[in-house]
Chains A and B, each alone.
Chain A
């Protein structure tokens, strides 16, 4: 399940013989490669073009959308659509809500999850296998199973008017995968490291903090990234536990733009999608290798 993103191991092929080749063979060779090259070109168009179209569309006006073909460029690049997104669309509030809900939950997930991973993998005690399995079960169970009891509790305790339900629920939902992944990373550290620390007189908490933690610092960052994407992109929890538009996260707020009822405001819709895509896209541009590695390792979540 570990993904290597280093350069693929060289797969030796028949080295093309260096003897002179007749021109016709060169041509046929190029022709043979042509379908693959077309395929790759097509693949890139399918993956990239929608995003390019999105970015261009965010500058077009309503009448340009309705009266011109989809590939037409906007007459001028002004920011009207973006202004609309942040004023009438109230997107600034959504972004603030997302940040307020996601980052405290992320911090809690990491602190609790790393400590629990250490206790379950490095420490020796009866029943740790069972507890690890218990956490693993949480990855499988659909979130729908916990919505109603939590809704009841949040409703009774009057937490519904705040972002606390999101923070609490995100923390709990993120824990199983984090504990599982951290346990895997701790397993890769030779036990002798901790035994040596113990012989030197370190307490368990000391060897967690001074030996274990520094050795998995990279892994923690990767796990944090994975959890960030899961929570940041969440829709189900966000629409279940927020009861007013003041509390909506980016994903929940973006749903207002589906235009199910009434005409679609194309420009603002495109601009809103752009804004919501922007954050994760920038992070991906900088950290793509690490993200690919992390998400592959966390694929048990499905």
Chain B
């Protein structure tokens, strides 16, 4: 039987095409791109071997440093934001809305499927200050505050990006976390209630520890996605004002395609991959330790 399910020819037919495309269009380029880090130049002018000088440049380049700082800051703030709000939403679904939560869940989820560029263009208008005054600034003026030129400084532009991406993704994380909380056995919640646990006590001492696994995997998904932020920044602020909101992905894109420096572009991409890997491993390790402790 195993000789039939281990038929080499069938394996080749079924797996071959996928593996071939994947190897040629992803694996080979990944290795190729790693090779580029040792060169300077581009596809049109040709390449010149420069050794590790691209990495030296990366660690001394203030623009690269700013991009790393922005990327990490964005990833941390957004991960905390979308997981926290997603978690609160999921608690709302499970404990207050209960069976009626279906419609709300569906409505809050929907921005996830909208194209990022469209949402970004919409948020540009929502936060506009001149010449037309957008809803957000109108609201600020109505409650007696000054309207803000949101895209005028990197600080405020950062928060618009964060708010937009939370708007887009909170419903998604809420559904993800909801699945984890719903899996908690009723008996445990019931017995905790009988023991007198109420409200926040119940959440903190019973629900939170028991939904920790799904919470932690959500954090890993979130970090991994947010470190690669590109679309929302490009479409919303285009990295500006100046280069105040430029993440590594966008810096890589500019270096490669505006300044045609493939070597340095590849180096930035390589460092980004490294950061993703290190962060994921770090979270995996620290969570495993925590779980065994707790």
**A residues lining the B interface (CB < 8 Å):** 1-5, 7-14, 36, 39-40, 43-44, 46-50, 53-54, 57, 65-66, 69-71, 108, 111-113, 115-116, 118-120, 122-125, 131, 134-135, 138, 140-152, 155-156, 168-169, 171-173, 175-176, 179, 194-195, 198-199, 203-205, 208, 229, 232-233, 235-236, 240, 250-251, 254-255, 257-258, 260, 263, 266, 269-270, 272-273, 276-277, 280-281, 283-284, 288-289, 291-292, 295-296, 299-302
Given contacts A8-B99, A43-B108, A175-B18, contact A70 B118 (CB under 8 A): no
Interface pair B1/A1, CB less than 8 Å apart = no
How far is it, in angstroms, between the C-alpha of A178 and the C-alpha of B122 when the chains are bound?
A: 31
The residue from A4, A47, A125 contacting B171, defined by CB atoms under 8 A apart: A47
Interface pair A150/B1, CB less than 8 Å apart = no
Interface pair A203/B189, CB less than 8 Å apart = no
Given contacts A36-B96, A119-B10, A281-B114, 19 further A-B contacts (CB under 8 A): A8-B93, A14-B193, A119-B11, A123-B5, A138-B22, A145-B29, A147-B256, A147-B269, A148-B36, A149-B32, A198-B1, A204-B14, A208-B14, A255-B117, A258-B235, A276-B115, A284-B113, A295-B113, A296-B175
Interface pair B29/A150, CB less than 8 Å apart = yes
Interface pair A149/B29, CB less than 8 Å apart = yes
How far is it, in angstroms, between the C-alpha of A194 and the C-alpha of B256 when the chains are bound?
A: 50
CB of A123, distance to nearest CB on chain B (Å): 5
Contact with A along B153-190 (1 / 0, CB 8 A): 00000000000000100011001101100100010011
How far is it, in angstroms, between the C-alpha of A240 and the C-alpha of B252 when the chains are bound?
A: 12
Given contacts A116-B18, A125-B6, A173-B26, contact A144 B253 (CB under 8 A): yes
CB closest residue in chain A, given B182: A8
The residue from A5, A145, A280 contacting B269, defined by CB atoms under 8 A apart: A145
Interface pair B21/A302, CB less than 8 Å apart = no
Interface pair A9/B186, CB less than 8 Å apart = yes
Interface pair B99/A10, CB less than 8 Å apart = yes
CB closest residue in chain A, given B22: A175
CB-CB < 8 A to A120: which residues of B? 15
Given contacts A11-B98, A50-B122, A123-B11, contact A40 B104 (CB under 8 A): yes
Kindly state whether residue B211 has any CB partner on chain A within 8 Å. Answer: no
Given contacts A119-B14, A138-B22, A301-B225, contact A288 B109 (CB under 8 A): yes
Which of B49-57, B62-70, B272-280, B286-294 lies at the interface? Answer: B272-280
How far is it, in angstroms, between the C-alpha of A48 and the C-alpha of B265 when the chains are bound?
A: 40
Interface pair A172/B7, CB less than 8 Å apart = no
Given contacts A281-B113, A292-B106, contact A258 B124 (CB under 8 A): yes
Interface pair B189/A11, CB less than 8 Å apart = yes
CB closest residue in chain A, given B132: A65
Kindly state whether residue B74 has any CB partner on chain A within 8 Å. Answer: no
Interface pair B33/A140, CB less than 8 Å apart = no
Interface pair B2/A115, CB less than 8 Å apart = no
CB-CB < 8 A to B256: which residues of A? 147-148, 151
How far is it, in angstroms, between the C-alpha of A144 and the C-alpha of B249 when the chains are bound?
A: 7
CB-CB < 8 A to B218: which residues of A? 299
CB closest residue in chain B, given A126: B6
